[in-house]
Chain A
């Protein structure tokens, strides 16, 4: 039984974009919980919080194109005892209104849920003004914030429900459009802060989030079949608090870790994983793949996943490259404890 008694399958959500699934789940939650209110900044239609707005017009506030005011109002609504769900594009939630989110929402640990769409390079054709490859870094640096990058629509459903049940600020970043389904149903034990092991393995661990998780899972299957590699895959849906235990276990059991994410290589999933590895003091080969420290090119999201190295083929290539390095012979693998 999933949290809040709500469960979803790919049958209920067939032909729905990830954001549409969010809209549906929010409506289902709001039927049961009348403390839920919604806000958007002229992006109700695009982020699909509009589904909630249509059903509960009295509980929805469109701020107009004014994100800073919207997050300020959300802070006030939360202070009054309500539970605001706020939706705009990731770039505006994490950058335009960053200070309102930090000072007005995170500092007092208010119960505001930010569901930000069009994250990463999923709005690829829109260019730099709309790409958002910084939000994980920004949000992760705000104390009290929980940061989640769900792998698909089903996991988004879980994340939205878990966010409601958790008391405090939560940032969930989802993609524009349709994500291929990694999960068929929502009852796989989603828990904030706990990675999902999609596949066990002993040679190398792939840690991925968002769109890269699906690609990693399928890449691992091919690496096993074609290369005889035993690849562990962790879907690290929660970037903060990061699942240290799963990372440390991967360090000890596979000694090689590579991360994939739709985000600048600085500050996101790769950085969060690296911090845990370094703290452990254990030897571990490590690479992180994402958008290099530059502004992404214009293009279709699927092309950009390939261009920046986190589609299925590029993940396979990367793992082969790492496995081809014979550091085991040259490095002393005895940990100095």
Chain B
């Protein structure tokens, strides 16, 4: 179903707000993985504000959809969404990275309400997500598992071991999304360790591939709804995105994978974000 104008407007407003909250969180945290936290905003916003069957008042609700943020370093992009959904008070974002806080650079499943898995070590998420999905299927549960990965992360062998298992066991109650921002820490993915032909690799492993513009809510909606329904093979959505999206001085710069922001840069970044959404 195409998104209504009203829905699209609301999602864009959320994305704008979450991006600005992310900038604030980077400031409060004294630094953060800002690039990849701005590239996956639309992916996370559409999941959390349209598709996920969750109850923030009851984070352990047994029938909730499961989310595995395998690119766990994007905590400064994830925590503002969880706070906005009501999993914990927004005020906690101000203590991000502080000693004794529940919020560290990578969100901890033992500590943060709403987080199912302690991620941060890349390549762990998809195997766990495949296990969750198999578990749901075996127990006739209708909840879905969503796994969000980085593209650099797909260098890890464990990603492809899980990909093989998901196809082998025909795991179709799983929605896998790769944030294809083409950047990792040491440089562009194609320079550090070539991933292309990326879609063909997934296909060769037995997956159905949907390639979308990861900043376009309509395209994301189509692909997610397709993946939710598909029952013959696992589906991966390769979401083409821009690292540092909406902040001019960060866009497409791997140097902004991780960074700190002083108050001046915070204002500059927020102004970029506002300008982007005004022009829309």
A interface footprint on B132-165 (CB within 8 Å = 1, 0 otherwise): 0000000000000000000011011100000000
Give Cα distance in the complex from A150 to B45, angstroms.
45
- The interface centre, meaning the residue of A46, A50, A125, A128 with most chain B CB atoms within 10 A of its CB, is A125
Tell me whether B279 is interfacial, beta carbon within 8 Å: no
User: Chain B: interface secondary structure?
Assistant: loop
- Within the complex, what minimum Cβ distance (angstroms) separates B100 from chain A? 6
Residues of A with C-beta under 8 A to B119: 129
Q: Which residue of B lies closest to A125 (CB)?
A: B97
Contact A126–B106 (Cβ < 8 Å):
yes
A residues in contact with B29, CB < 8 Å: 125
Number of B residues whose C-beta is below 8 Å from A?
A: 32
Rounded to whole Å, the gap between the CB of A323 and the closest CB of chain B is 30
Nearest-neighbor residue (CB-CB) of B195 within chain A: A64
> Closest CB-CB distance, A119 to chain B, in whole Å?
15
The complex places the Cα of A129 from the Cα of B186 at a distance, in Å, of: 20
Asked, given contacts A46-B185, A128-B118, A129-B106, whether A68 binds B157 with beta carbons under 8 Å apart, the answer is yes
A177 to chain B, nearest CB (A): 12
Question: Which residues of chain B in 148-200 are interfacial with respect to chain A, using CB atoms and an 8 Å cutoff?
Answer: 152-153, 155-157, 184-186, 192-193
Q: Which of B80-125 contact A (CB under 8 A)?
A: 97-106, 108, 110-111, 118-123
Closest chain B CB from A320 CB (angstroms): 25
Q: Can you name the residue of chain A whose Cβ is closest to the Cβ of B98? A: A299
B184/A66 in contact, CB under 8 A:
no
Q: Are B118 and A129 in contact (CB under 8 A)?
A: yes
Residue pair B99, A62 in contact (C-beta under 8 Å): no
Evaluate whether A128 and B108 lie within 8 angstroms (CB atoms) in the complex, with A63-B193, A65-B184 already known: yes
What's the nearest-Cβ distance from chain B to residue A49, in Å?
A: 10
The interface residues of chain A lying within 8 Å CB-to-CB of B156 are 65-66
CA distance A130 to B157 in the complex (A): 19
Among A45, A46, A129, A307, max chain B CB count under 10 A is at: A129
Given known A-B contacts A45-B185, A304-B99, A65 and B108 have beta carbons under 8 A apart: no
A276 smallest CB distance to B (angstroms): 34
| Bound-state Cα–Cα, A31 to B251, Å | 37
- Cβ of A292 under 8 Å from chain B: no
By a CB distance below 8 angstroms, the chain B residues around A298 are: 97, 99-104, 108, 111
Asked if A42 is at the interface of the complex by the 8 Å CB criterion, the answer is: yes
Chain A residue at smallest Cβ distance from B254: A45
Given contacts A96-B121, A298-B97, A299-B98, contact A42 B192 (CB under 8 A): yes
Q: Across the interface, which residues of B come within 8 angstroms of A182, CB to CB?
A: none
Find out whether the CB atom of B99 lies under 8 angstroms from the CB atom of A127: no
- Note all chain A residues with C-beta closer than 8 A to B157: 66, 68-69
Contact with B along A35-79 (1 / 0, CB 8 A): 000001111111000100000000000111110110000000000
Q: B152 and A42: CB pair below 8 A? A: yes
Across the interface, name the chain B residue whose C-beta is closest to A304: B99
Question: Contact: B185 with A91, CB < 8 Å?
Answer: no
Measured CB to CB, the residues of B under 8 A from A are 29-30, 72, 97-106, 108, 110-111, 118-123, 152-153, 155-157, 184-186, 192-193
Listed in ascending order, the chain A residues whose CB lies under 8 Å from chain B are 40-46, 50, 62-66, 68-69, 91-92, 96, 124-130, 297-300, 303-304, 307
Q: Which 9 A-B pairs have the closest CB atoms?
A: A64-B193, A299-B99, A129-B120, A64-B155, A298-B104, A127-B104, A303-B99, A125-B97, A65-B155
